[in-house]
Amino acid sequence: MDVITTGPERAMLENMVTLNRESLIESVEKLTEAEARQRLVPSLTTPLGLVKHVAAAERSWFQRRVAALPEDEWDGHAYGDDASFAVTDEDTIASAIRELRSAAARGATITAPLDLDFTIEHDHHGTLSLRWILLHMVREIARHAGHMDILVEQLLAAREE
């Protein structure tokens, strides 16, 4: 994926979201299915759960909040709660990645016609622009990609023991 370092603000923001998302995906792809389900911390965080959580965050911001779609039109869980980390027996690395990419594509479709100054009202943060939401997604996904990197490093090191 190309890195956009100059040009329109929107292109750079969307590119940074995508780069962070792809970094998260590239990391989980280094793992086996069993490794991706391992909990190495007291929370519900697992590598597979991180991918599912980021998909839920994408749906939460773009389907639930920006588009204000009713719940029955969301592609899946759209809250950043503990349930967003839940992994079922049917989940696989490939299915979680498909879920994340699908949520991202739908978010891009929702936001494409909107200006960066488009606003929504948020129950906790007040008035938020699409610019702020994209910056928040850069922060959110980068944070979880960092978590993923640490978990993957631990899991790959355990292979060598």
* Domain-located, residue 2: no
- What is residue 8's predicted lDDT score, i.e. its pLDDT? 97
Summarize the confidence of residues 61-82 as an average pLDDT. Answer: 97
Percent of the chain, pLDDT > 70? 100
Contact assessment for residue 76 and residue 56, using Cβ atoms and an 8 Å cutoff: yes
- What is residue 143's predicted lDDT score, i.e. its pLDDT? 98
Q: Is 119 helix (H, G, I), strand (E, B) or coil?
A: strand
The parent domain of residue 108 ranges over: 9-159
pLDDT digits (tens, 9 = 90+) for 97-153: 999 999 999 999 999 999 999 999 999 999 999 999 999 999 999 999 999 999 999
* Domain-located, residue 1: no
CATH number at residue 34: 1.20.120.450
Angle CA 54–140–50, to nearest 5: 35
For residue 160, is pLDDT > 90?
no
* Domain-located, residue 72: yes
* Domain-located, residue 4: no
* Domain-located, residue 150: yes
* Domain-located, residue 108: yes
* Domain-located, residue 100: yes
Please tell me the total count of domains within the chain. 1
For residue 39, what are its two tokens? 């909990």
pTM here is 0.96
